[in-house]
Amino acid sequence: MKNNVEIKFRCLEDDDCEVVYKWNNDQSLKIMYSGHPFPVSKKSTREWINKVSNPDSKLCLFGIESQDELIGLCGLKNINHVNNNAELFILLDPDQSGKGYATKAVSKLVKFGFDSLNLNRIYLKVQDNNLKAIKLYERCHFTKEGVLRKAVFKVGQYLNIIVMTCLKEDSIVKL
C-alpha cells in the first residue's frame, strides 16, 4: 500500500460547522451511508458537533485534516468497554477522494482503537453497492463477516448491508 500521504486528526470546532453542514446535505455522500434522508440544518449540525465533543460521549469523533484543511470525518461509535468493541465510520469530502487520505485515516483510527481505547474488535456496516468503501476496508485488513439482507431503503430500492470486522490479533500481524 502506498502510504506517503500526510493527515492529522483533530477535534471539531464551531468553525467547522459550515463544511460539516455541506457534507451532511451532500446527496452523493448521503446515499452511501446510513442515516435519515432529510436535510440537516446548520443549527442541528452545530448541536451535534457540541454533543459529540463531550468527553462523556460514547462516540469518539476526529476531523481529518490535510495541509491545514478539514477534508473529512471519522470515528468510533457504540464504544463498548465490556466487550471491547466499537463501530468505525468515515466520510471524506468528494473532492479529496482517490488520493489515499481515507486509507491513511482508517489505518490510523484502527491503531488508535486498539492501542489507546483497548478495543479488541472494530466492526463497520457498509452498503453492498459502496464498492469504493468495501475496497478501502479490505485494503485496511477488514474481513467480510456477514450480510444483513435488504437492511436499508435507498433511492427506491432495498440494499444489503455488509458487516466487516478487524480483530486486534489481525492488526498485530498486518498493520
Query: Per rule CB under 6 A, is residue 164 in the interface with ligand COA?
Result: no
Radius of gyration, CA atoms only, the chain? 16
| Residue located via cell numbers 470546532 | 13
Query: Per rule CB under 6 A, is residue 149 in the interface with ligand COA?
Result: no
Residue at 59: amino acid letter: L
Determine how many CB atoms are found less than 10 A away from the CB of residue 102: 26
Query: Per rule CB under 6 A, is residue 19 in the interface with ligand COA?
Result: no
* Nearest distance in Å: CB 167, ligand COA: 19
The residue count for binding ligand COA (CB under 6 A) is 25
Cβ(84)–Cβ(115) below 8 Å: no
Query: The C-alpha cell of 2 is what?
Result: 502506498
* Nearest distance in Å: CB 55, ligand COA: 25
- Nearest 5°: CA angle at 32, between 27 and 37? 55
Query: Per rule CB under 6 A, is residue 99 in the interface with ligand COA?
Result: yes
Query: Per rule CB under 6 A, is residue 126 in the interface with ligand COA?
Result: yes
- Contact positions vs ligand COA (CB under 6 A): 1-5, 29, 32-33, 90-92, 97-103, 124, 126, 130, 132-133, 135-136
